[in-house]
Each structure stands twice: as structure tokens, then as C-alpha cells.
Chain A
């Protein structure tokens, strides 16, 4: 089905979490990309369709016991908006 993106466009979010998570977990996180976030932290970044999808990712973090440090929308270059 065609997406009605008239009101809100798909946003790019960046989750910062504690611990180093290998990129093998990318598919588990719906194809979001994983990269190093500096000392003992991982960045999980990617396009998220809507709020429901956002909460889905938060749930997966919760279920795996991965502590969430921060969550921001970013632009295509990865800079905080």
C-alpha cells in the first residue's frame, strides 16, 4: 500500500545504548545500522516509519536488557536535529 506521507515524513532516529553490540544484530533491529559510539557505547541509527515502529525498537532493547542512554532524531549526515 502507498504510504501517505503528507503530514509526517519518515524520520531518522539515533539510539545511543550502553555496551558494544556487533553489527550481526542489525537484522534483529529491523535493518538499522550499528556503529561505535565511543567508549563502551553503540549507536543504532536508521529510518523509522512511525511512532509505533519506534516503540517496537525500544521494546527490543528492553527485552535484551540493553540500557538506553539517549534517543534523538538526526539528519542524513547523522547530525542531531
Chain B
């Protein structure tokens, strides 16, 4: 959840009629619209904002405005304001981007900016974007964002930066290339003519030329100085005296002038100004809270101040919110300390804090509680602020407030302690988490006296025991203790209140993922289903999609390919319903589909899914998508017998690998070793496996299975080169162990690979009977789910065994497919008359057609779209050289294909 956007910061300051119009500057700015960037760089009090707002009021181009503050030094916040300001020009701009920014894994900055810039380039009207007070931005990452913006600015947009200092951007380079328009102090100062016009015409002071000259040279045309001088002069009878003493001295101008101005205001007004100087933005009721004993209301005073031109700036068109001109506000703040003692100032901050809390500005309430030195109040408020600030980038800010609080304050506040622990976890600081959780539990377990316990947020308290268990679960996961992770997550679910769907769903997902890593696929399955259901109820669709994709991966490991297919397609459906249509979150689903199509032997469909995935992740992707994409490509290349290509892609994947909570069932180094074995590089493979230190005497955990399978492949390859009875025993021992583990855990994909190896082992040992028996078991697993690739990868043995198996059997559709896949890979085919054999998928569809199913029914049976079926039909007809379904069936029967 992010902090709300303040519309006052997007408000374009109204052009003040009391300020003189400086046509020469406006003309200069208008000329600059042909370039990319306008920079207005001058110290405070030079009328920068005034000039820009005048310019915008008179310029034909529409403008968007952001009044920056130090909070915008965070990229996510800065981008949110960027999008919000552009939305004032064009309502729908950046909708998808706001959704991306609030997702658990947002894509990288450049992708987001590219999307935004592309949207801007579709604007039908030219526009201007003003970033006011840019000197407040000192974050390098935000600087990079602005730099990127400037480099790639679409022609429709002109950027204006208003700052008190030259920004950290390639200014001189842009100057040299004439891409920059600048207004600096020397341009903004009033010249003699302007000074005269300002003082005599606008302020109606009727000063002589000499007097104006004196004022101009004393202030050096500094507008703030002239404005203050004008205010003083207006009320004075003896102007000559004022001008003489002002121009005669060398005192810091503003100090001197402010003193003069304040002396001539009523005591009420002076006190009002001082008391209200502690806050950035003023409205009537806040002023009343800060200065309660006034004869006139805050609202009336503010109006008076604005009309008298006492440096009050309007922040909206309703005249509700105002702020003091920055310089004026700073001067007042300095004076406050002189007029009012420290204790009273702290009291003022507390008043402000109370008002902010009552009016739902929690952040500001906390800031002023801290400035008011009230630690208890601070502790109360930060406890309330936590739920809306959870999540890594706001957690850092929350921690700044909480860290200075002492243990004595924390020990009686269980909710605050637990929140503190969670915030530390969010920013990756794991020390001290346990201590805080213990402190919190002490309160719950009645170790602390009940009356001493302070709870401010009852709602958080209701979920406290569950939240503590949840945090412990994450700690356990980080230290790799999967059993503890499951234990604490189960505790969390037990203790959580019924309606806290988010918390329970999060715990279920942890149980699911850690169960998967242990190989307890059943538990993983049911926990993830619970998690998905809970996340949907909590409205967290992105998380539900991520968990559904994980579930599909698990179901794949169970060998249930059709179900996996259904689930991946489900995520596509779910993503389509999200506002802003962030389909990029489905890139991983398409990779899952690629994997499935390869297992089904359908290379064309696999290529198509991979292409779709790449297209979706072009602009934005989850952290692990590049890695998974490279992996998918490697698998594809291997299916096409391009072993060199496969290896190249695996090396690429290695570089892109990111540590992920999802278990790494097929580590890259093992995949590489497996390729080496296929290439005959047995020595390299042996060396790599040696490094792993695999032992046959221990139990084989789920995550190590693939390592052992590759070990098995090496042993078989070595045996094939040099048969050795001893080796045969070792191989059988290894395969028995793997088989037992896989059967127990129902890890059917692993089981299939193991059985295939067993098949090869029996064949190499000339045990044809045993081989056939094993083949029968394999088919019983692979047939229901149409697993093709695992078998076809071992062409040699399949060509031997398949004919033997099918010779006295009815040829099922699956077996025909298997045969076709074998033939399709370029070896001698039974169907000599077809120039290009049918792919397994095409064959499957043809068989269904021959059984009388309509295209629509076939689509439903195979979980494919109707258009996909029609596509396959077209290709099939071309190969068979026919025009219709009936002809296709007839021709295929003729050729003995079916």
C-alpha cells in the first residue's frame, strides 16, 4: 500500500495579478519550447516559481506540475507523482504503471519509464511538465530517472526544472548542443525599469528615481528583498528615513526587512505567523489548533495575509490550503526560537501532531510527535501507522521513526514490538528480530502484567499471535530450516482470525513451497490451493497468480501434465481480469506451457509459447523470468538435438540465475553435465559429478534427485563403453534407491526418468525380459499424460523396445504418437509416402477426428482453443494433400498411419 498522492502538490500555482508581467522573460521561455529542457536555476527569492506560473498561464500549451518535497527522493514515490501529474493532462496515462509499482516484484525502472514515455508519445497535444523545487532531490536513483527522461523525451513534451542550484545532470553538454534554455539569477533580477515599475506602479509608492536606484542597488534586484521593502514602505510616513538606514547598512537584508515588517504588524498577526511557521501547509482549522486564543479565526487570518501579500501562497483553487513562501517560512522559523522558549515550541508540535492525527495525516502526526519530544505518543502513532506502511520501501521510513525508541517503551507494547520485528525482516536486517518477537510474546503469555500492556491498534492485536508465528516461519525459511518453516506456518494458520485471509494465505504458501522443496508434493499441492483461495479472498490477484503458477510447476513434477496445462491457462485468465491488463506477469506461465508442449513432443507449439513469453516480457518481467526463459530455450534446443546450442543457453541461464523461494529441482550444473554425457564428454561429466560428492549410502532428498539421475546417466554411458559387472551392480543399486524414493513421494517425472534408465541398464546387460517389464511400467505412467519427450530422448533404446512391445498389442493413440515422434526426428519412417510426417499432436487430432469428434469437442478434450485446432488441421491437410476432414481420415487410413 502506498502513501496517497496529495493533489496540492500537483496544483499549478495561480498567476498572481500583483506581480509584474515580465514579457522579456516570457518571450525567452516561449522560444525555448523548441528544445527539450528549460532550467530555472537561482537561489531562493528570485521569483522562479512566479515566472514559471505566469508563463504557463499565458502559454498555449497545457502543463502538468509537481511541487517536489524530500519524500520524492524515493523512485517509486517519484514515479507515482510523475504518473499522477500526467494524468491531469490525460486521464488514463500510466494506469498499468501504477499497478506495476504496487506489485510485489516490480519490473526495472527503465522498462517502466519506456512504457510511460511511449504513452506520452501518443499524446495528441504538446505539453509541459514542471518539476518545482528540484534542488530537494538528491537521490542518485531519482536523478537517474530524470536523466533517462531527458534523454528519451518524446517531441510532445517539454520539461522544466526549477531549482535553487544546478542539478546533477549533463547541463554543460546540453548547453553546448543548444538543447537547453536557462534562466539564472542575473536574468531574474529586476532591472532598473522593472524595479521602478514594481515599486511605483504595482505598489503605488511614488518614489523618486534616486530612491529607486538606492533600493535597487542595495537589494541588487533581489525580488524577495524588494517585496519586503515594499511592504514596509507602504505603511510608513517617513520613507526617507527608512531608505537611508536600509541602504546605509550592510545587515543581512531579509533579517533587517523582516524585522521592519513584523514591527508594523499587530501582535496578534506576528504571533499567528510565528506559531504557524512550524508546519509546511496551512489551513484554517490547523491554524486554529496552533494559535487558539486569537480574536479572529484561522481562515480569516489566512485570507487577510494573502490579500496583504504577506507571502502566503495558495495551494488549491478552493482557497483551503496555503503555504508560506519558502524564504519567509524559514525566517519565521528562526524567529520562533527567539520569541518562544523550547518547551512551548515542543507544545506547539504536539498541538500540530494532535490535529494531524484527527485529520488522518498519520505521517505528519508522527513527525511532529517526534519534534515535540513525546516518545509515548510517537510509539502509539507508529503502531497505528504500520499496516499501511508494510512493504520494503516504506518499512525503511517506518524504521527511522521506531529505531530510536527505547526498550523500556517497547517492552509493554506487544503489537509495536512485533511490527518492529517485521519491518526489520522487510529490510533484510535479521539480527534483533528474535529478541523483539520474544518481547512481544512475553506480553501475550502474561509474563508482563496485563494492566501494563499498551495496545493501540486492536485489529493488529487480534492477529498478533499468528503474525509472530508467521515472522518466525520466514526466519526459519531464510536459515533453510524447512521443517521449522512448516511448523510455524501451521501455527500461524491455527492462530489467525477467520477473516485475516492475507496472513493465512501467506502462511499456506510458505508451507506449500517448503513442502515442495522436501518433496512432499501432496502437502505442497493442498497448501498452495488454500493459499490461492485465501489470496483471492484478500483481493491479491498477483500473488494468487504467482502461487497458481507454482502449483502448476508442482503438478508437473507429479507427472500430471494435463492438469498443469489447465492451471497455466488459468493464470492467463486471471491476469486478463486485472485492471491495466498487466499480462507481463504471465510470461512465466507461457514458459510453463513451453515446457509442457516439449514434453508432449509438440515442438511447434513450444516455439509459439516461447515466442509469446518473450513478447510479454519485453518491457517488464519478474526477477526470475530471464533465467527461466534461457532455461526453456535450452530445453527446446536439446529437443531439436542441437546440443551445442542447448549448452550455450544453459551457460546464459547460469548468469541470469536469481535465488528464489521456489525450489531448484533441476540445477543448471546438472543439466550441463547431462548434455556433456550426451555429447560423449564423459571425462568432464565425471569431474563435475565428483565435485558433488554423491553417496549411495544415504537417503536421496527430493532436491538432489536430479543430481543422482545425471550420475546414473554417466554410469550407464561408461558401462556402454566398457561393460563391467561391478558397475552394473552400482547402477542397479542407485536406480533402485531412486525408484523407491520417487515411488514413495509420487514424483512421477523423476520416476519416469529413473525407469527409462533402468530400461537402458537392462538392455545393456542383455536382460530383454526385464527390459520389457520395465517398459510396460513406464508406459502405464506416461500414457495417461501423453509424455513423449522423456522416451524419445533415448531414441536408441526406444527403437529397440517399441516394436517388441507393440507387436502383439492394439496400437493405442499414444503408441502411434510415440512411433510418429520417433520417426519425426529424421530416422526411417514406416510411412514412406508422406514427405513430411505428421507431428504427434496432429496425429492425436486426426485420431479424434476419425473417432467422430467435432473440432469443438476436440478443442475441449485437449484444452486447446478452437482456432488452435483449426490451425493444426490446416497444416495436417497440407501434409496429407487434402481439403477436408473426411478426406484426411481416408487418406491416413490408406497410408496406414491410423
Contact = CB atoms under 8 A, between A and B. Distances in A.
The yes or no verdict on A and B being binding partners is yes
Interface of A: 19-22, 24-25, 27-28, 39-40, 42, 62-66
A22 B165 CA distance: 26
A65 B334 contact: no
Contacts of B250: 19-20, 39-40
B825 to A, nearest CB: 67
Contacts of B252: 19-22, 25, 42, 64, 66
A81 to B, nearest CB: 27
Given A27-B337, A62-B165, A19 B330 contact: no
A24 B337 CA distance: 10
A22 B327 contact: no
Interface in B131-181: 164-165
A31 to B, nearest CB: 12
Given A65-B43, A65-B222, A22 B254 contact: no
Nearest to A19: B252
B343 to A, nearest CB: 15
A64 B45 CA distance: 9
A66 B224 CA distance: 13
Contacts of B788: none
Nearest to B224: A65
A40 B251 CA distance: 8
Contacts of A21: 251-252, 255
Contacts of A65: 43-45, 222, 224, 254, 327
A13 B779 CA distance: 84
Given A63-B330, A65-B224, A19 B253 contact: yes
B44 A28 contact: no
Contacts of B45: 65
22 contacts: A19-B250, A19-B252, A20-B249, A20-B252, A21-B251, A22-B251, A22-B252, A24-B255, A25-B334, A28-B337, A62-B44, A62-B164, A63-B44, A63-B164, A63-B326, A63-B330, A64-B44, A64-B327, A65-B44, A65-B45, A65-B224, A65-B327
Interface centre among B326, B330, B331 (most CB of A within 10 A): B330
Contacts of A39: 250
A27 B336 CA distance: 11
B165 A24 contact: no
Contacts of A22: 251-252, 255
Interface in B322-337: 326-327, 330-331, 334, 337
Interface of B: 43-45, 164-165, 222, 224, 249-255, 326-327, 330-331, 334, 337-338
Contacts of A28: 334, 337
Contacts of B253: 19
Interface centre among A22, A40, A64 (most CB of B within 10 A): A64
Contacts of B222: 65
Given A40-B250, A65-B254, A65-B327, 9 more contacts: A22-B251, A22-B252, A22-B255, A24-B255, A62-B165, A63-B43, A63-B326, A64-B44, A64-B330
Nearest to A42: B252
Nearest to A29: B334
A39 B250 CA distance: 9
Contacts, number: 50
A19 B246 CA distance: 13
B251 A64 contact: no
A34 to B, nearest CB: 10
A62 B326 CA distance: 12
Contacts of A62: 43-44, 164-165
A3 B298 CA distance: 46
A63 B331 CA distance: 10
Nearest to A67: B43
A19 B45 CA distance: 16
Contacts of A66: 252
A19 B222 CA distance: 14
Nearest to A66: B252
A64 B254 contact: yes
Contact of B338 (A24, A40, A63): A24
Nearest to A25: B334
B188 to A, nearest CB: 12
A56 to B, nearest CB: 12
Given A21-B255, A22-B255, A63 B327 contact: yes
A36 to B, nearest CB: 10
A66 B331 CA distance: 13
Contacts of A63: 43-44, 164, 326-327, 330
A65 B223 CA distance: 11
B400 to A, nearest CB: 15
B254 to A, nearest CB: 7
Nearest to B253: A19
B36 to A, nearest CB: 27
Nearest to A24: B338
Contacts of B224: 65
Contacts of B338: 24
Contacts of B249: 20
Contacts of B165: 62
8 pairs of A and B residues whose beta carbons are closest in the complex: A40-B250, A19-B252, A21-B252, A28-B334, A20-B251, A65-B43, A20-B250, A65-B45
A53 B164 CA distance: 19
Nearest to A39: B250
A17 B172 CA distance: 28
Contacts of B327: 63-65
A22 B335 CA distance: 12
Nearest to B334: A28
B42 to A, nearest CB: 10
B262 to A, nearest CB: 13
Contacts of B334: 24-25, 28
A10 B331 CA distance: 29
A28 B337 CA distance: 9
A31 B617 CA distance: 56
A62 B44 CA distance: 8
A22 B253 CA distance: 11
A19 B44 CA distance: 16
A63 B44 CA distance: 6
A62 B858 CA distance: 75
A25 B250 CA distance: 16
Contacts of B331: 64
A77 B70 CA distance: 38
Nearest to A28: B334
Contacts of A25: 252, 255, 334
A19 B334 CA distance: 18
Nearest to B338: A24
B736 to A, nearest CB: 62
A41 B330 CA distance: 21
Contacts of A42: 252
A8 B43 CA distance: 32
A63 B254 CA distance: 12
A20 B164 CA distance: 22
A25 B326 CA distance: 17
B135 to A, nearest CB: 8
A63 B329 CA distance: 11
Interface centre among B165, B249, B255, B331 (most CB of A within 10 A): B255
